[in-house]
Structure 1
């Protein structure tokens, strides 16, 4: 007999060996009756003003003849079979039609994996470089300010996620989520991601995972090409007939899975010229906020700070400013991480957060953003790419405010709120570097006002959040794409048959897991089209 038990609590200092005792107590049976148990989920409850504790969900195996006195306990339910991640339904493909996957971020990699495992010939093209090469280019940017237009934080093997925290949290309810995580573990991710409530891999381990996925694809017969930029589509009678690489090489194909990410502005413009229907989409913009990690630990853990069982503390903060009709929230919080420059074009500054698997850096950072509506882009403009122009304007403004050398404009939080300049001496992890500037000029006035008021609310929720040690760094504009590549119920572009847009760049996902799931969905649609 196999049962599932939820809401099992262990205090700090209690080892997981006590789970068997706790499970037996909830069931009302002896420990000897518990033949085995598996941890399904683990989370930390660290609400302030009470001792933190860990919460577990378990799968418990008992003898079939065990009497369970407490069967009516709401925490107990029947689990007839051991839970295994559900695999995507991969149909075997007999046709020799080759699919081309454009982009090697999570959406592209998982789309290619599903296609390759179905037996379909796959060509994966990536405009950037492989992980080892792009790591060198990114380091040159951070350390020397040398920007490489086709090899940076956004372009290259693994996509933007390669230089991130590697978070796997997602609000998407999809049974294939567990399979995505299982696949990542098979490629070298830590097994803890299968049970942690807030799983993350860390950029150091994620880079190795991405390389292993490439090797797996090659073992399955997929062809992978780097430095291969899609510069045009070949369309015949409303259907995909091929694509052009690097303005000179034409590749014949009847279906393309488009996983370009949200930073390929030139690709969006090409799609628009080719008649692909695009639409503006809301997103959010703001700054990165950075505190000493020790301060966040003290705020969140109180008198229990310093306990070795506790990870670097996190936070999630949201509020709404009713009279402005704007939401303000934190996004992509990186405990023990660093803020990085991730410019996607010359003359622009963009920030993001990154951390390694140990999350042991001295700073905590998060995006703090306000929602941007499509009518904010350009009034009544009918240009579907007006959101790109909007965000580019503020990235260029950040570049100018930062001194014009890819340094980011920065300001102490207290100075930003009081409207006064910040002098030298800010402690920040940002690479390549920061320059003191007034962030009032770094975003539209409505966003600045919403952020100021939202940050004040955050300090009420987390007393001590507003401090002289906190620094704001501008600008954070890549929360999601301001463009959607419109697709139909069959996953194809509503304009061109055989074109399957997916992932963040298509406007249908955000983050590693949801992008991977959307890539899987695109591959399944492409396979169904094969008949």
Structure 2
């Protein structure tokens, strides 16, 4: 196969134009092309008057070596690399069943790889299976009671189940782990287009089906999946894991625990600290969700081509470096989505963003965040960042009315340093409801100062971003974990052999793809442990 990169066509080109351009680039006739596969497709909208689709393809041609020899000096035409994921175990299954804690992307893929290699993992999840979890979350969003063990943070699929389902990552991946993740998602029901889209997404409704099917695969391969089973302790013998304590009294004997608890498992962090497991405070971010009309984002990004079927809903990614030495940035942008309540503790108010596959809701939303360094939350111990998060989440809860209504402020009012008293043209999507106010009362001073400097700068990059009636909803505080569970070169805790911290909650990932990839790395480490 021959990999051809940077094939550029109008975004709305006819279906046969790609094949014609492949033939032209290779200088071959139609009967010399056995077929081709699209490897990647990205939209280049930097020039609004000429939006293009940029392809990479793998072409199966007659006399491949002769064709390649003619393009020996062309870096855009090379032999196709091997994209197959391969794991070569250096040891055989010992018979000790690994316990995987947490069914988010990291735990789910660690368990899947272990199951595929015959290691019969036991996957435990503190929350409920995905169907029951969805019912609990929807009941809460309608104004019902928060279930601390079944919510947007806890339950089958992890926090990513209620998101846009973005499958992008910045990880340099020579082992094809990212390809493995995408292929397993397709096997579990995702559309095959995620294998080549530059910015693939699944949508929250499809993630539900996918995590359920991956669970079934793990079970079919000899694994067990247990719900409403929380890790509450670890027994140790001779410096090594000997068993996992579940729900305070149940015991699972094992020498291996893959710990992928998610970034909101604060009670788990406290349990580990009490056991003397090394934990470090790490930087994270705090801020708001910001909502605009999706039509404004489409027009700003695509110009006259806004709403064209071949483009879909426009996205953005913004950073502003401010005069106070801090920066603000957008994160987890949800086109055509909604702002959701992501609370997991009573008396705390947390938000996130979510989109369905079609991204067809009226508003666009994104986190608008400012970095928080350990110096900003100086306190005692490695869990000081957790207490910092909790402090501001409680203030947001109280400011919203102590009923899980979210505090909101219009951008124009925020920049003018006056409290909002009503909404304008942009209607907040958050449920169960919102409370207009001043967000200065539930955000640190350094965050509000930075956001006031950042909004006009971002407006210069994306016209309309600082529109006065855009809505800022607090509080976004769970974009990443405030702690890192230390691990050594073998990916185990240096204090406890057999304990493998994994994923976003352990401080080693951020988002579905990077968490899943870290889970695969952990499974490889378990399988190859000497």
Q: Same fold (TM over 0.5)?
A: yes
Distance in 2 (alpha carbons) for counterparts of 1:69 and 1:527: 42
Report deviation, 1:337: 0.8
Moved more, 349-358 or 301-310: 301-310
Within the alignment, does 1:508 sit opposite 2:508 as a pair? yes
Query: Matched residue of 2:336: which SS?
Result: strand
Report deviation, 1:235: 1.7
Query: Matched residue of 2:16: which SS?
Result: helix
Report deviation, 1:91: 5.8
Contact preservation (8 Å) 1:45, 1:53: yes
Moved more, 202-211 or 28-37: 28-37
Q: 1:404 aligns with which of 398, 402, 405?
A: 402
Equivalent in the alignment of 1:467: 467
Gaps of 5+ in 2: none
Query: Matched residue of 2:111: which SS?
Result: helix
Deviations 1:36-90 (A, max 9, x none): 1110000111125332111111112221076679726745322157x44323335
Equivalent in the alignment of 2:309: 308
Distance in 2 (alpha carbons) for counterparts of 1:88 and 1:107: 17
CA pair 486-505 structure 1, distance change in 2 beyond 3 A = same
Equivalent in the alignment of 2:13: 14
Distance in 2 (alpha carbons) for counterparts of 1:49 and 1:36: 33
Contact preservation (8 Å) 1:255, 1:499: yes
CA pair 48-458 structure 1, distance change in 2 beyond 3 A = farther
Equivalent in the alignment of 1:234: 235
Equivalent in the alignment of 2:269: 268
CA pair 292-64 structure 1, distance change in 2 beyond 3 A = same
CA pair 181-291 structure 1, distance change in 2 beyond 3 A = same
Query: Matched residue of 1:504: which SS?
Result: coil
Equivalent in the alignment of 1:393: 391
Deviations 1:201-232 (A, max 9, x none): 11000100000011001101111110101111
Report deviation, 1:115: 1.2
Alignment length (residue pairs): 525
Distance in 2 (alpha carbons) for counterparts of 1:418 and 1:398: 20
Deviations 1:420-469 (A, max 9, x none): 12122351111222110101122111111111111110001112211133
Query: Matched residue of 1:406: which SS?
Result: coil
Within the alignment, does 1:360 sit opposite 2:365 as a pair? no
Output the aligned Cα RMSD. 1.7
Distance in 2 (alpha carbons) for counterparts of 1:246 and 1:69: 64
Deviations 1:106-134 (A, max 9, x none): 11111111111221231111100000100
Equivalent in the alignment of 1:56: 55
Equivalent in the alignment of 1:181: 182
Equivalent in the alignment of 2:499: 499
Report deviation, 1:16: 3.0
Query: Matched residue of 2:419: which SS?
Result: coil
Distance in 1 (alpha carbons) for counterparts of 2:271 and 2:80: 52
Contact preservation (8 Å) 1:7, 1:75: no
Query: Matched residue of 1:144: which SS?
Result: coil
Equivalent in the alignment of 1:477: 477
Distance in 1 (alpha carbons) for counterparts of 2:312 and 2:367: 20
Distance in 2 (alpha carbons) for counterparts of 1:31 and 1:421: 67
Moved more, 254-263 or 60-69: 60-69
Distance in 1 (alpha carbons) for counterparts of 2:12 and 2:470: 32
Distance in 2 (alpha carbons) for counterparts of 1:265 and 1:153: 15
Report deviation, 1:10: 1.6
CA pair 90-356 structure 1, distance change in 2 beyond 3 A = farther
Distance in 1 (alpha carbons) for counterparts of 2:443 and 2:508: 26
Moved more, 422-431 or 188-197: 422-431
Q: TM-score, structure 1 length as denominator?
A: 0.96
Deviations 1:390-411 (A, max 9, x none): 0111111110111111111001
Contact preservation (8 Å) 2:120, 2:221: no
Contact preservation (8 Å) 1:413, 1:467: yes
Distance in 2 (alpha carbons) for counterparts of 1:121 and 1:449: 52
Contact preservation (8 Å) 1:87, 1:179: no
Map 1:255-294 → 2, pairs under 5 A: 255-294=256-295
Equivalent in the alignment of 1:330: 330
Distance in 1 (alpha carbons) for counterparts of 2:121 and 2:468: 54
Deviations 1:303-354 (A, max 9, x none): 1223221210101101212x42212110000101111000010001111110
Distance in 2 (alpha carbons) for counterparts of 1:443 and 1:225: 39
CA pair 12-520 structure 1, distance change in 2 beyond 3 A = closer
Distance in 2 (alpha carbons) for counterparts of 1:94 and 1:471: 54
Gaps of 5+ in 1: none
